[in-house]
Amino acid sequence: MNALWRSASLAAPSRLGFGCASLGSRVSAADGLNALAGAFDAGVNWFDVAPAYGAGEAETLLGRFLRGRRDSAFVVTKVGMAPPRRLGALRIAYALGRPLAARATALRSSFRSLAFTRNRHMPLTAALIERSIGESLHRLGVDCVDVYALHDPDPADVARDDVRAALARTVERGQARAVAVAGGFDACRAALAAGGTYVALQTSAADLDHGGAELAGAGLLLVSHSVFGVGGGALAQLRAKLAAAPERHRRLVLAGYEADSRRAAAELLLDCALANNPEGVVLASMFDVDHRAADLARARRRVGLAALGLLDEALA
């Protein structure tokens, strides 16, 4: 894990990491750059991106943000997913739809569910790994990323000799300081079994809920993502449960959560993600200034495992 810490001035990752999945798609360039700067100024130094993110725009925009800040940031990018094919039409659709989607949660969800907005899995080959890192570095405008991760890989690919050798060459050439797996629990377990190659594992908070002890015991950096997507869309699920059963919300209020049930649901899920990954990085979407401030404040608190019990009760 120490391979990630480049200097005494950047000793460790921030507790919260900035997830850039919407940078350049749902979130405009100007708003995204402002949000990145706001998070950075508040102490966030872990930035997670991929070639597919933001309808193919996120790496380029993150690169603009990194100018003058590169030595103060951990940068993670990935290989294995590509943006949708019809990028020109998709970017026009995002540009036209942002004003409406910003005011309508249901519209955002409907748009994300459309087939032409979905990212594509790429066959994982040594050639793809070596080509993709060069393209990512060019878009980011940097010489090296801190972590280069397999993006949602098949568990069988994680231990393949050609895949591991290609990843090792990116480190040997100085294109990446470390390599990782960013995927489901089975892919992370495959990375552990492979031994030696990977220094970080990125998976969902739901996977850490049922297998965190095994992953944490490996001594690797753990990064948990999809804070509000726990369990296949837990934010929407939890909000519905609280709305249908006010007594569940009252129990949360008594435990110190917000009187507004929508905000209480978000707070509880973030607390659970932090509790499930106490020594690692928890990724969050920080584009909304009020949500960002609230999330950063919660991340500075010591979160107990009681939050996990509260979530189980609320979802029962």
For residue 17, the 8-state DSSP code is E
For residue 259, the 8-state DSSP code is S
User: Looking at residue 232, what is its pLDDT?
Assistant: 52
Torsion of CA 192, 193, 197, 201, to 10 degrees: -20
**Distance in Å from the first CA to the final CA of the chain:** 38
Q: Does position 227 have pLDDT exceeding 80, yes or no? A: no
**How far lies 191's CA from each of 22, 133, 152, 231, in Å?**
27, 20, 12, 22
Q: Does position 34 have pLDDT exceeding 70, yes or no? A: yes
User: Looking at residue 1, what is its pLDDT?
Assistant: 47
User: Looking at residue 112, what is its pLDDT?
Assistant: 55
CA 200 to centroid of chain Cα atoms? 13
Tell me which fold the domain 15-83+119-233+281-286 belongs to.
TIM Barrel (3.20.20)
User: Looking at residue 123, what is its pLDDT?
Assistant: 95
* SS3 assignment, position 225: strand
Q: What count of residues does the chain have?
A: 316
Q: Are 37 and 303 in contact (CB under 8 A)?
A: no
Structure confidence by residue, pLDDT tens digits, 155-176: 999 999 999 999 999 999 999 9
pTM, to two decimals: 0.88
207/80 Cα distance (integer angstroms): 20
Q: Any idea which residue has 């908070």 for tokens?
A: 205
Reported as a pLDDT band with limits 50, 70 and 90, residue 96 is low
User: Looking at residue 261, what is its pLDDT?
Assistant: 87
Neighbour tally for 2: CB within 10 Å: 8
For 213-242, what is the mean pLDDT?
Answer: 76
User: Looking at residue 7, what is its pLDDT?
Assistant: 47
Q: What percent of the chain has pLDDT over 90?
A: 56
Give me the phi and psi of 201, to 5 degrees please: -130, 130
Reported as a pLDDT band with limits 50, 70 and 90, residue 109 is low
Structure confidence by residue, pLDDT tens digits, 128-139: 999 999 999 999
For 210-219, what is the mean pLDDT?
Answer: 76
Structure confidence by residue, pLDDT tens digits, 241-287: 898 889 989 999 999 999 998 889 889 989 988 988 888 999 998 99
- What residues contact 72, with CB distance under 8 A and at least 6 apart? 9, 10, 40, 45
For residue 56, the 8-state DSSP code is G
Alpha-helical (H) ranges within the chain are 29-41, 58-66, 87-101, 105-113, 126-140, 155-158, 161-172, 185-194, 205-216, 230-244, 246-254, 261-276, 289-299, 306-315
